[in-house]
Amino acid sequence: MIAHTYMTESELIQRCLAADPIAQRTLYDRYKKAMYTLAYRITGSFEDANDVLQDAFVKVFRSLPSFRGEATLGAWIKTIVIRTAYGQLRKRKMHFDELDRAQAHVSTTEHNSLDAEYIEQAILALPEGYRTVFVLIEIEGYGHKEVAQILGISEGTSKSQLFHAKRRLREVLGQFDI
């Protein structure tokens, strides 16, 4: 029986570069939940999140030789996932105006308390642009400058999208200061 010892980040990278399947799987397992959740929150659908996660991790393994360690491995992977998810949204070319349906996704009569599930639904009901910026700043902790760089938008756009997202959430969630 082979004992699986914990691999440090640099060991993981080295072994992935050598195409070690165990190391590849370990890297994926280490980050899959966080990245999948992030992809889901940006795209709004589990089906899209499956595609994004797959595309993003293929990019991760193929680009690993060019990883220079300026950021942590997790941060680097996250950037790839965000760009892939955002690219998926833009590729979808949502002609349809989600704004008029966004409110109706969250039934205000069903919830009296601000539980996590209700907040989750409210976030998922946001229009895609607002949701992406909100998730990156309020949940993932990025700054506007970083968000602007990752998504290829201006800092001003990032700030205004966050403003609109919070205003929309305030309307839906009511009593909390957001």
Partner 1 sequence: MTNKWKDRLPQYMPPEHIWERIRQQLAQSDSLWRTQLEQLPEYAPPESVWRGIAQRINSSTSPETKRIRPFYRGIAAAIALWCIASVALLWHNSHDRLDSYPDISWSTQTISEDLLVDTQALSDSEALKLIWQLCQDYPFLCNTEEVQSLKTQLQEVAAAKRQLSAQLTPWETDPELLHLLTKIEREEAHLIRQMVAVLQ
Partner 2 sequence: MKQNAMRTYRLFCIMAIMMAIGAHVSGQTVLQVASRVIEKTFPYQMGSELNIEGQKAEIRISTWERDEVRISLQIIARHPEKHEAARSLEAMKWKVDQHNQKIYFRNYIDESMHPKAALKAVYTILLPADCPVYLKNYFGLTDVQQLAHRLHINSEFSKTWLRQLKGDIRVISSYGDVEGDGLSGNVFIQATRGDITLHHITGQLDLVSQYGIVKLFTSPHGPPLSLNITAEKSDVYFFDAQPSLYGYRLTAHYGNITAPADLRFNYIENTRSLKRAVFNPNKEMGTISIKITLGDIVIRNP
* Residue 18 CB partners (closer than 8 Å, separation 6+): none
**75 binding partner 1? (CB under 8 A):** no
Instruction: Please tell me the count of residues contacting partner 1 according to CB under 8 A.
Output: 31
> Closest approach of Cβ 47 to partner 2, in Å?
6
On whether the CB atoms of residues 27 and 12 are closer than 8 A, the answer is yes
Nearer to partner 1 by Cβ, of 94 and 156: the residue is 94
H or E stretch at 82? helix 73-92
* Residue 1 is a binding residue for partner 1 (CB under 8 A): no
In the list 29, 95, 113, 175, the residue contacting partner 2 (rule: CB under 8 A) is 95
- Contact positions with partner 1 (CB under 8 A) in 97-116: 114, 116
Please tell me the distance from the alpha carbon of residue 114 to that of residue 178, in angstroms, as a whole number: 12
Mark 29-48 with x for binding to partner 2 (rule: CB under 8 A) and - for no binding: ----------------xxxx
Residue-wise over 81-90: b if at least 16 C-beta within 10 A, else e? bbbbbbebbe
Phi, psi of 31 (to 5 degrees): -110, -5
How far apart are alpha carbons 15 and 1 in whole angstroms? 20
Positions that interact with partner 1 (CB under 8 A): 19, 21, 24-25, 28, 32-34, 36-37, 40, 46, 49-50, 53-54, 57-58, 61-62, 114, 116-117, 119-120, 123, 138-139, 176-178
